[in-house]
Amino acid sequence: MTAPKCNSDASCKICTIHLEELCFKRVWWFRAFCTVLGTGVRLFAFAKSVRIDSYKSRSPMCRKCIRFHKNILKSRSPLFNRLDGLFTPVFDHVRNGILTQEEVDRARLLARRAAERDFERPADLVTL
**Considering the domain boundaries, does residue 9 fall inside one?**
no
Domain that holds residue 26: 16-113
pLDDT tens-place string over residues 87-124: 999 999 999 999 999 999 999 888 887 766 565 655 55
Confidence of residue 64 (pLDDT cuts 50, 70, 90): confident
Number of domains in the chain: 1
pLDDT tens-place string over residues 46-63: 998 888 778 877 777 777
CA distances (Å), origin 42, targets 26, 50, 104, 112, 120: 25, 9, 25, 25, 26
Instruction: Provide the pLDDT for residue 123.
Output: 54
Question: What pTM was computed for the model?
Answer: 0.75
**Considering the domain boundaries, does residue 25 fall inside one?**
yes
d(CA 59, CA 117): 8
Instruction: Provide the pLDDT for residue 116.
Output: 66
What's the CA angle centered on 125, arms 90 and 30, to 5 degrees?
30
Q: Print burial letters for 19-54: b (CB count within 10 Å at least 16), e (below 16).
A: bbebbbeeeeebeebbeebeeebeebbeeeebeeee
**Considering the domain boundaries, does residue 1 fall inside one?**
no
**Considering the domain boundaries, does residue 85 fall inside one?**
yes
- Segment 87-91 long-range contacts (CB within 8 Å, at least 24 positions apart): 87/37, 87/40, 91/33, 91/37
Instruction: Provide the pLDDT for residue 128.
Output: 37
**Considering the domain boundaries, does residue 104 fall inside one?**
yes
**Considering the domain boundaries, does residue 123 fall inside one?**
no
d(CA 114, CA 46): 27
Of residues 110, 125, 124, 1, the one with CA closest to residue 58: 110
Of residues 42, 33, 95, 46, the one with CA closest to residue 69: 42
